[in-house]
Amino acid sequence: MGALLVKTVTAAYGQDSLKVVVAEKGDGILSLLRKQGVNPYDHYDDFIAMNADNLRDSIHLYAGRKYIIPKVDTVEVVQTLQGKSRQIKEVKGVDYAIFGKKHATVIPKSERLKGNVYYLVSGHGGPDPGAMATYAGQKIAEDEYAYDITLRLAKELISHGAMVYIIIRDENDGIRDERILKIDHDEVAYPDKTIPLNQVARLKQRVDIVNRLYRKHRGKYQRLIVTHVDSRSRGQNIDVFFYHHEKSKNGKKLAESIHKTFQEKYKKFQPNRVYSGTFEDRSSLYMVKKTHPAMTFIEIGNIRSKKDQRRILDPDNRQALAKWISEGVLRDYEK
């Protein structure tokens, strides 16, 4: 990625004087904020709101244009009576190794989901990479991108006080900011079970793990979110779809809440594009049919479509997807 230009100017935004920087070719929203010392995950939406009219597809930067950087008020400086020393008070986070060294720290944002339990299952993994495709001469696999989005979602939910079980896990990967995610086969099922090669055995293993944990936490608010990347015909690009069990009112409400959030985000950030994703019954899917918690099954794009590849491979897009899903989860619970 290109480095930011050193030159900065200030701009008025409301009553505050904010920094403005010029983006170079290769810069994305995450790297732009990170280089300015701003937590990109806490201030991603603020940045988009401030720069909405200056973004391509509402989420990409234009090289050579100026962008407003959100003001960060996370550190309070208090002088002593003598004025000789300063006490620094800052928000402390908790480290989770599963998110990787760069992204390990989770800064608490609220307790809106405190006491709630969420089970997150990313599709495929272990001996099964899922759908495969080629990008820039390199192989890419569905399971790696579904897992990265799932980790980002887990971090968002934890920041709001939720207890989160990441059912399919890779202790070595963490959240990754690369476009091409290296393919491996060392994922395990919670806590450290080898993932079977046989598809039915693999799905049954996940169902058994979720249902056992569900019984353990009986009486608590519990939800399951399964994330896949679709693999339709090569030229077909699709939107994000949400499925639920036909007899689960709470599952339908969860799927509908996230779906509605996506509709609103598209209307706000991509007003010239119609969102065609739906939420609907798909009780025939094994995970939908067999698991006990109210759940939604999410299909994100088509890994074989060149248009959808741009959505899935861009780490900014993966973060936006996770953020929007988490906002739908909050909406579901609070309504």
Neighbours of 72 (CB within 10 A): 14
Instruction: Report the C-alpha gap between 46 and 93 in whole angstroms.
Output: 20
Higher pLDDT, 118 or 57: 118
Amino acid at 67: Y
pLDDT (0 to 100) of residue 325: 97
Tell whether 55 and 200 lie within a shared domain: no
* CA pseudo-torsion sign 232, 233, 234, 237: negative
Tell whether 58 and 201 lie within a shared domain: no
User: Residue 23 sits in which domain range?
Assistant: 1-91
Look at the block and give the residue holding tokens 């897009």.
317
pLDDT (0 to 100) of residue 86: 43
Tell whether 87 and 100 lie within a shared domain: no
Tell whether 84 and 190 lie within a shared domain: no
pLDDT (0 to 100) of residue 83: 46
pLDDT (0 to 100) of residue 266: 84
* For residue 302, pLDDT beyond 90: no
Tell whether 114 and 238 lie within a shared domain: yes
pLDDT (0 to 100) of residue 179: 94
Indicate the DSSP class of residue 163: E
pTM for the whole thing?
Answer: 0.81
Given 75, 91, 107, the domain boundary residue is 91
Mean pLDDT of the 48-60 span: 79
Tell whether 106 and 248 lie within a shared domain: yes
- What total number of domains does the chain contain? 2
Contact 169, 190 (CB under 8 A): yes
Tell whether 4 and 69 lie within a shared domain: yes
Helix-then-strand count for the chain, H and E = 8, 18
The string of pLDDT tens digits covering residues 263-282 is 998 888 777 777 888 889 99
The string of pLDDT tens digits covering residues 68-90 is 998 865 433 333 334 444 443 45
pLDDT (0 to 100) of residue 238: 65
**Residue 252, C-beta contacts closer than 8 angstroms, at least 6 positions apart:** 244, 245, 279, 281
Tell whether 67 and 98 lie within a shared domain: no
Contact 23, 65 (CB under 8 A): yes
Given 28, 57, 91, the domain boundary residue is 91
Tell whether 147 and 29 lie within a shared domain: no
Confidence of residue 52 (pLDDT cuts 50, 70, 90): confident
Given 60, 91, 122, the domain boundary residue is 91
Tokens of residue 10, six digits: 């200030």
Higher pLDDT, 44 or 286: 286
Tell whether 100 and 69 lie within a shared domain: no
Tell whether 313 and 247 lie within a shared domain: yes
Instruction: Assign residue 190 the CATH number of its domain.
Output: 3.40.630.40
Mean pLDDT of the 215-224 span: 98
Tell whether 71 and 172 lie within a shared domain: no
The string of pLDDT tens digits covering residues 113-134 is 999 999 999 999 999 999 999 9
Instruction: Report the C-alpha gap between 277 and 67 in whole angstroms.
Output: 31
